[in-house]
Amino acid sequence: MLNFNYHRPQSLAEAASLLGAKAEGKALAGGQTLVAALKLRLAGPTDLVDLAGVGGLKGISREGNNIKIGAMTTHAEVAASSEVKSAIPALAALAGEIGDRQVRNRGTLGGSIANNDPAADYPGAVLGLGATVHTNKRSIAADDFFTGLFGTALGAGEIITAVSFPVPKRAAYVKFKNQASRFALVGIFVAETAAGPRVAVTGAGQSGVFRVAAMETALAKDFSPAAVTGVKVAAQNLNSDLHATADYRAALISVLAGRAVNQARGG
């Protein structure tokens, strides 16, 4: 690992100005992805700005019809939160299925979505629930936030502060785990929201998480497993790797979407 300068600011303003001043600066949250990237020299920042000391970035609260979760809230905290479990059980369950116990004790919501790994779980929930990502500069709708493989709408030095998840009528997340890494080989987040059904697919897309409009239309008419299991997603834009072919992932999407709808209906 190449060395870097380490900063531990106490306020968001200070963190932002540190990141703004350093051409090769990077925010540090739980380190569960970034430390490995530093070891492999996939990332080589001159400066790391640790957000652990910044106040106001942690915690879970209900705001109207939204559950607002601070960027530095860990997966374990979301999984154990009675607020999340009662309002959006699918979200708590998703957080509880990320990686393993030690990873969940350190990894954060903000770090996960800023990284936007194509096999990560949280992007499925953020897109599937139509959440809003808050940063130190603005609020970004989920549909505009994820911009491709490891890509987001975040500008240089922009810091995620929280995510607001609208409480759906019902929702479920079904993940087919890669047995070795536990990341999603395919993960489907299905939600019936005030604005209609949403279906988000993670783990499969060449450009990361995506919605399946044909499934959403079918669910708007009939919120049942049969409505989605017949909808096929073209394998052409899906990932093929040593874990699964694109065709296999395409087949999983239809099967898991059916299971997710069944689960959302309480089945």
Partner 1 sequence: MSTRISMTVNGKAVSAEVEERTLLAAFLREHLRLTGTHVGCDTGHCGACTVLLDGKAVKSCNMLAAQAQGANVTTIEGLAAADGEMHPMQVAFKASHGLQCGFCTPGMVLSAVELAGKLKNPSEAQIREALDGNYCRCTGYHNIVKAVQTGLANMG
Ligand X SMILES: Cc1cc2nc3c(=O)[nH]c(=O)nc-3n(C[C@H](O)[C@H](O)[C@H](O)COP(=O)(O)OP(=O)(O)OC[C@H]3O[C@@H](n4cnc5c(N)ncnc54)[C@H](O)[C@@H]3O)c2cc1C
User: What is the binding site for partner 1 (CB under 8 A)?
Assistant: 1-6, 8, 28, 30-32, 35-36, 38-39, 48, 50, 52, 76, 99-103, 105-106, 181-182
160 binds ligand X (CB under 6 A): yes
CB of 225 closer than 8 Å to CB of 254: no
CB of 69 closer than 8 Å to CB of 163: yes
Choosing among ligand X, partner 1, none, which partner's interface includes residue 26 (Cβ < 5 to 8 Å by kind)? ligand X
115 binds ligand X (CB under 6 A): yes
114 binds ligand X (CB under 6 A): yes
Identified binder of ligand X from the candidate list 81, 108, 164, 239, rule CB under 6 A = 108
Closest CA to 11 of 45, 61, 46, 50: 50
Nearer of residues 62 and 101 to ligand X, judged by Cβ: 101
User: Any idea what DSSP says for residue 255?
Assistant: H
The alpha carbon of residue 87 and the mean position of all alpha carbons in its chain are separated, in whole angstroms, by: 18
Choosing among ligand X, partner 1, none, which partner's interface includes residue 8 (Cβ < 5 to 8 Å by kind)? partner 1
**Residue 20 neighbours by CB distance under 10 Å:** 12
Distance CA 198, CA 120 (A): 18
Report residue 54 as tokens: 């910044």
Choosing among partner 1, ligand X, none, which partner's interface includes residue 236 (Cβ < 5 to 8 Å by kind)? none
Contact range with ligand X by CB under 6 A, out of 24-32, 210-218, 232-240, 248-256? 24-32
Report residue 236 as tokens: 């052409």
Nearer of residues 163 and 218 to ligand X, judged by Cβ: 163
The CB-of-230 to ligand X minimum distance in angstroms stands at: 29
Choosing among ligand X, partner 1, none, which partner's interface includes residue 98 (Cβ < 5 to 8 Å by kind)? ligand X
Distance CA 194, CA 125 (A): 16
28 binds ligand X (CB under 6 A): yes
Strand partners, 166: 66
